[in-house]
Chain A
């Protein structure tokens, strides 16, 4: 029974639970058993909240037994939460030693919405420290392994959430995407990951990496599950000034429409600058096949050019570190988290704590950002990068005149071996080439599995204009239906 339950989609589990064929507690227990079985190997979780999860599931069962309607279409379904969202009943570390053991006194808005929807939070997932990284190797608590090949990375920063899905430890997960941290791990693990429009999901209680780029989003094994979760966590939040005051796009309806398999009249733009050189041959081939598939479904495929996209990485690595250098200043040992009592002044304690509490990638970016914002360099770096950002947004706007969605491979390669890029930060940064423009423009994008290359998963990235999630989900759902069931990895303890 356990092995059957963990392989079901969230939609299927919800159906079983709501029709009382299976209890939410059984479903939670099945996943907790799976975590106990494989997570020693995968290390997707930093914290497993078994008692809280079972308690929460029991409440759903009680409510259903009492004849209540389910709190949401996903009530009773388990979920893995990236350890960057605050949770009042679980530690929250953002993958950093500087927050080891920190118990937040408040729930993030996303956490609150999950609880209100009756979703069972199984625990908190591993991530690159403060979401900086593309491999989850920069977690202060050790790397997560890719369920497809334990010697390879699951991508990052949300490698824990993606690996939990791929290893059937959870049917749903939450990630955050600053430059690709949801989509690239999804591509590397053969799962679905969605980066919503900036402002579409509240950032309140999301520990900031780069405020103007960060966006929480749903992760799942199917497009429908992602859409169901998207509608739970999306929407306006008065506590987040940058949150969009509009209804959540009707993405579940869009998925059902797309699943019928007809894309006639939908214009799909292939971004010339995000293909070809630098892309692994197998990745490129899988992508080309996916585009052909879309054409077969009736889509009008056109080639579009976004000439400023290749400058995105340079702009991104000025804007992100600048915001990081300021956002992470608060970790100073004065109020919470790690304190290294060294020296006789507050400044010395702060310095010693930050020296010992932050990992190498975080320090690298704090230094880059501090430099980029310093007097005399601001205009040349941060100011210039913001201009590039405007140009990228214009490229998107022009491309969306010609196409309803844009497509590209999500990442230029498949999952790389552990340790492969740790000594070469630039090559690590280049892995986000195709995902970064969306963050810079504040638009929406997702990654859906599109076949294997050399035995490893690849991802098809579908990009849409701001608040244009419906058409993006529709295209992804149509492709998913035509593609057929995605292969899954075998993971044993």
Chain B
């Protein structure tokens, strides 16, 4: 029996007739050196089943031992999200059978999360701040990975066989769950995206995860329900998985709003289910329908002792939290004297870190900003890569700026130097030397070139002498041509005017 098909409702109409309720569950894979409960490495992309041991393979007799670095990371995330930290909490077993889960239970936290009851203030596009309540942040272990061979689009349905890679099994995860996010109206998609973005930046600033959505080190499940406008009720929700980019978060929320509204307006009922986001059509499809609701039979993990972080440890971690993204943005905005708009552009371009690092390497803020948002952004766009993946370091950019300031490179030569670095020709000074980019600073050579140009164009010399100073441009051009563009135009002009006075 196939489910009835409903039309999507226009977004404006959805907002007019319904109130959306959002809930976001974000899984963050920690970048600890070792797994949650054993000493295996966590390197991404290793040969399948090379980072495993009896514990993460769930072999009979093996036992877990908690990774203290993961607990520390969880507490730091909790503190940064303004959560209370549990003075005593336990792990629990979440029991269900799945081939990529070695023990057929996931060691997680259930009713005793390490961090709970916090919030994250999210700045929206128009500068307004929206506060998202945090229900809890808890620790758990990742599962392995199944690769289904022979079926349609890699799904288990219809597959001939499946391959299992347990390298990821046992990698520490922090799951961060929001409280129901209400009152978002037409901004629900934007707020969802802004929240995940803010959370990503926060966790990146904490240095506990590389938060790469494309590699799955940050995964987001979108819970959404609709209730009649102004009713104050909560409708039946769906949970959308496989939302693998910030843009997809926004699109998944929008699509589910339009889809659920279609179901409700046609007199249907929203089915509580897991749905999968489809990147290419920006839509969702139902996951495998379960006959009965899953009963995970949670109970406290008897193989582990409770976690009881001391007050002193928590305070020490609180005191050593790094500057958090919003505080840093406020500081940089002030230091660099940026308008809200300018700041937002830098943030959106992903240039903030790079500019700050360039400034830290000795460059003036204005120059650093100009290089990253203009020429380097163009280069990144041309290569279709994020700005921070351009093969040039902030220190190299700072060196280029320094050479321009000292007059050793012109702006044009500086761009060539950058091109050389991007092409992998070496460090800035190497490129300058190899490509022969240094400005002609040998005064004698420059004077000879100027005199030769003046001699070649006596008519222009006459004009200058006659007071038409702007005619000097033609001589400057000739000198630049003769020196292959390596002359400092300002100095050339001075030399011309000296000789024509």
Q: A326-B105, A330-B102 are in contact. Are A108 and B61 (CB under 8 A)?
A: yes
B-contact 0/1 string along A190-233, CB 8 Å cutoff: 00000000000001111110111000000000000000000000
Residues of B within 8 A of A104 (CB): 54, 59-61
The residue in chain B whose Cβ has the minimal distance to the Cβ of A347 is B97
Does B386 sit at the interface, judged by CB under 8 A? no
Question: Would you call A335 and B299 a contact (CB within 8 A)?
Answer: no
CB distance from B305 to the nearest CB of A (A): 5
Partner of A240, one of B57, B63, B103: B63
The residue in chain A whose Cβ has the minimal distance to the Cβ of B305 is A241
Partner of A375, one of B93, B105, B295: B295
Question: Would you call A374 and B61 a contact (CB within 8 A)?
Answer: no
Residues of B within 8 A of A326 (CB): 93, 95, 105, 297, 299
B-contact 0/1 string along A310-326, CB 8 Å cutoff: 00000000000011011
Residues of A within 8 A of B99 (CB): 332, 334, 346, 350
CB distance from A339 to the nearest CB of B (A): 12
Question: Would you call A207 and B299 a contact (CB within 8 A)?
Answer: no
Question: Would you call B295 and A374 a contact (CB within 8 A)?
Answer: yes
Known: A208-B61, A239-B65. 10 other contacts (CB 8 A): A104-B54, A204-B63, A206-B61, A207-B60, A323-B299, A326-B95, A332-B97, A334-B164, A347-B97, A374-B297
User: Once bound together, how far apart are the Cα atoms of A208 and B64, in whole Å?
Assistant: 13
Partner of A238, one of B58, B65, B164, B299: B65
Q: A330-B104, A374-B297 are in contact. Are A106 and B54 (CB under 8 A)?
A: yes
User: Once bound together, how far apart are the Cα atoms of A378 and B58, in whole Å?
Assistant: 25
Q: A241-B64, A326-B93, A347-B97 are in contact. Are A336 and B59 (CB under 8 A)?
A: yes
Residues of A within 8 A of B104 (CB): 329-330, 332
CB distance from B108 to the nearest CB of A (A): 13
Question: Would you call B64 and A205 a contact (CB within 8 A)?
Answer: no
Question: Would you call B297 and A242 a contact (CB within 8 A)?
Answer: no
Does B230 sit at the interface, judged by CB under 8 A? no
The residue in chain B whose Cβ has the minimal distance to the Cβ of A242 is B305
Residues of B within 8 A of A204 (CB): 61-63
Residues of B within 8 A of A99 (CB): 60
User: Once bound together, how far apart are the Cα atoms of A79 and B295, in whole Å?
Assistant: 44
CB distance from B166 to the nearest CB of A (A): 8
Residues of A in contact (CB 8 Å), total 44
A-contact 0/1 string along B86-97, CB 8 Å cutoff: 000000010101
- State the A residues within 8 Å of B (CB): 85-86, 92, 94, 99, 102, 104-106, 108, 203-208, 210-212, 238-242, 322-323, 325-326, 329-332, 334-336, 346-347, 350, 370, 373-375, 378, 382
A-B complex: 5 closest residue pairs judged by Cβ atoms: A329-B104, A373-B297, A211-B302, A212-B302, A205-B61
CB distance from B343 to the nearest CB of A (A): 47
Does B303 sit at the interface, judged by CB under 8 A? yes
Chain A to chain B contacts (Cβ below 8 Å), 6 pairs:
A108-B61, A241-B303, A242-B303, A329-B97, A335-B58, A378-B299
Question: Would you call B63 and A373 a contact (CB within 8 A)?
Answer: no
User: Once bound together, how far apart are the Cα atoms of A340 and B63, in whole Å?
Assistant: 27
Question: Would you call A322 and B305 a contact (CB within 8 A)?
Answer: no
Partner of A241, one of B63, B95, B299: B63
Question: Would you call A330 and B61 a contact (CB within 8 A)?
Answer: no
Question: Would you call B64 and A330 a contact (CB within 8 A)?
Answer: no
Q: A329-B105, A332-B97, A374-B297 are in contact. Are A203 and B60 (CB under 8 A)?
A: no
A-contact 0/1 string along B152-173, CB 8 Å cutoff: 0000000000101000000000
